[in-house]
Structure 1
Amino acid sequence: MVTLCKPAVSVPEYVITMEETLDLARSRHAGHPQLPLALRLIANTGVNQRHLVRPIEETLEHPGFQERNEVYEAEAKARVPAVVKEALANAGLAPADIDMIVYVSCTGFMMPSLTAWMINTMGFPSHTRQMPIAQLGCAAGGAAVNRAHDFCTAYPDANVLIVACEFCSLCYQPTDLGVGSLLSNGLFGDAVASAVVRGRGGTGIALERNDSHLVPDTEDWIAYSVRATGFHFLLDKRVPGTMEPLAPALRTLAGRHGWDAGDLDFYIIHAGGPRILDDLSHYLEVPPESFRFSRSTLTEYGNIASAVVLDAVRRLFDEGGLREGARGILAGFGPGITAEMCLGRWTTGDTAPAPSLDTRRIVGYTPHPTPVRTVA
């Protein structure tokens, strides 16, 4: 039984409130012809506050793509380890028990990936698989869970660590003045999240089925334009209406599993904005309260990209979990337009520590033979 255990989530110490965001928009874009529309859209996001990896004064400056990316790398290395250690403790595992690390992020670039640095510095075995995912945006949180599910299904003794590191504020572009860009400036926040998917044992969501769905001809609805100044986020005005084509994909996935997507016990949904959740409530015919975990993430942290679904799962745990066997769906949405979806049941399975490396099978690993030396 493949189980998504309790995630760990950390947000940076610098905070900007909704009122401060609106005041900044008014002062910096006083002559913008569509400022009233942008202010109204930002206010309607329901985001009370967001956390930033740098003080707002530094965030509003643009020292160049190189320096921005250097900040991304330094902050990732400073903030990821504590979150990973908490996630491992939540799952009752140690670094030596991990067979693959899935690292997702769309707000900075490193090669080698941060996974290599983690293996070298945090005690993960040198044979740990690395799966960095950089171009699925907000959908990557769901994709990480699904790829971990796939791996643990193929290798039932395996354990997978997921890390989502998103510093959206480092993508702020002061010269992007379209309404979509102004809205994004008031919507996205920074966070680091991590969770373990165990191949055996663990308390959490026992993953049963996953799927992906791409809405045709929507590649330009959510995109990056990569320029000398870095990543420029492009958000089409049609994006808020994406639940009309995506809700049927959720129903199809559930139906293939013999479930009704409108009659489940929990919903972990990427909170790109309030309309996403409102429309999904309408199309699936479920009460708005069903999306309370996602709404809480949006209200307290803003849209934290790939980390949203992990934070929403954490909130489910913090509420006390669910009865054994309670059914639910997890879904992340992002560029493409892409949906990464999975179904699972709540389980309070055994959380006994995994076998030590000298007794458990290391999935797919063949030790390199030790050279035999001969003495002439």
Structure 2
Amino acid sequence: MHSGSSSPERWQREQPMAPTIQSIATALPPHSMTAEESEARLAPIFAAQGEDETLVAQIVRNSGIRKRYLSRPPGFYLAETSLTARNGVFEEVAVEIGVEAARKALDQAGIRPDEVDLIIDTSCTGVMIPALDVHVANKLGFRDDVRRLPLTEAGCAAGATSLAFGAEFLRARPGGVVLLLSVELPSLTFQLDDATRANVVSAAIFGDGAAAVVLADRPAPRPSFEHLAHKAVLFKDTQSIMGFDLRTEGFKIILSKRIPLLVRRELRGQVETFLESQGVGLDEIDFFALHPGGTKVLDNVRDVLGLDEAQVGAAREVLADYGNLSSASVHFVAKALLEREEIQPGRFGLLIAMGPGFTVELALLRGVA
């Protein structure tokens, strides 16, 4: 671990208190698939379209994933391939696990539903109009004047984006309560007839799940962390390297080989510039909440920032147990950091998430007792 000062002059205790995580809760659909089951099912599917079966097996084995959760049993994805069928499942499952995660997070925080002032919900793996926040508000009993902000096209970065927006809301409206809700069901975007390398990788690494976070500018009921500052970086003319192409048959994944190169070339400079603007050095960062986009992504972030393997351990654990959960991933990782007791009071942390744009989201965090 790095061993720098835990409290530069700029970040002496804020008055009023900085936006603080009150609770993080997760929910998962009932079906799952192990890495061995993924290999056995995916290899013949892609081999039938001309892909090397051993290469598919290698991608699954190198994914770093032991198990993922699915909205439906594996056979569903072979039988139901239309966008209509898949999105119908999204509407059903997203509400089920979204409500479950939100209810648990509020209960753990000791917050009543009618105390929530803003709900920000994120998802990029299905379409709902009205958005998920409406269903959650109705089922849990939010006030009729609750503010709602659905973020539907920010991809894997959206969990960090919602945290930043929630913190900014609280700084503008002290005393409020924000609920962040990320629900992603990437399994429903699997394209049976697409043998591109991006679709093979997508089929091997993404998993379904939901995370809910309660944010407020008050002391948390248990050890947690506060959100001090945020920076979003949009790289010019990179919109074609990550995202979805919406087609008649559904969501076609876009994942470019340029992503690792961009991360290696740009990430450290962006991180150092951001931290310098906050009066904090990279050597003063003690814990890292990293979006687990994949094993190579984590390897690149570790190497570029000069981290110890232990500092990417929580992200690797989430990737292994759940796969890449898109916007929900950073919340799963933050929860794992808290459960592993890796966030110490007064110590600084850095959140990093990446998404379509191409975008990098950075947040400066600090542990609280």
Matched residue, 1:207: 227
Q: Does the 8 Å CA contact 2:29/2:93 hold for their aligned counterparts?
A: no
Q: How many Å apart are 1:41 and its aligned residue? A: 2.7
Deviations 1:262-310 (A, max 9, x none): 4411000101011111111111111121011111110111001011100
User: 1:274 is aligned with what amino acid?
Assistant: T
Matched residue, 1:170: 188
Moved more, 88-97 or 100-109: 88-97
Deviations 1:119-169 (A, max 9, x none): 222111111111100111000011011111111111111111000111111
1:39 aligns with 2:61: no
Which secondary structure state, in structure 2, belongs to the residue aligned with residue 7 of structure 1?
strand
Moved more, 124-133 or 81-90: 81-90
User: 2:229 is aligned with what amino acid?
Assistant: R
Q: How many Å apart are 1:12 and its aligned residue? A: 1.8
Deviations 1:331-355 (A, max 9, x none): 211111111111011112xxxxxxx
Q: Does the 8 Å CA contact 1:180/1:237 hold for their aligned counterparts?
A: no
Q: How many Å apart are 1:38 and its aligned residue? A: 3.6
Say which one has the larger Rg. 1
Write the mapping of 1:302-321 to structure 2, written as runs, cut at 5 A.
302-320=323-341
1:145 aligned to which of 163, 169, 172: 163
Counterpart CA distance in 1 for 2:274 and 2:157 is 17
Counterpart CA distance in 2 for 1:268 and 1:33 is 35
Which secondary structure state, in structure 2, belongs to the residue aligned with residue 27 of structure 1?
helix
Give the 3 Å change call, closer, same or farther, for CA 187–169 of structure 1 in structure 2: same
Q: How many Å apart are 1:34 and its aligned residue? A: 4.2
Counterpart CA distance in 1 for 2:170 and 2:331 is 18
Matched residue, 1:124: 142
1:15 aligns with 2:32: yes
Moved more, 97-106 or 245-254: 245-254
1:185 aligned to which of 203, 216, 235: 203
Counterpart CA distance in 1 for 2:193 and 2:81 is 13
User: 1:299 is aligned with what amino acid?
Assistant: A
Counterpart CA distance in 2 for 1:188 and 1:206 is 29
1:269 aligned to which of 290, 294, 303: 290
TM-align CA RMSD: 1.5
Matched residue, 1:253: 274
Moved over 6 A (4+): none
Matched residue, 2:241: 221
2:301 aligned to which of 269, 280, 284: 280
Counterpart CA distance in 1 for 2:52 and 2:239 is 26
Which secondary structure state, in structure 1, belongs to the residue aligned with residue 214 of structure 2?
strand
Matched residue, 2:261: 241
For normalisation by structure 2, the TM-score amounts to 0.91
Deviations 1:87-112 (A, max 9, x none): 11222211111110000001111111
Write the mapping of 1:104-123 to structure 2, written as runs, cut at 5 A.
104-123=122-141
The count of corresponding residues between Structure 1 and Structure 2 is: 348
Deviations 1:304-327 (A, max 9, x none): 101110001111121135332111
User: 1:232 is aligned with what amino acid?
Assistant: K
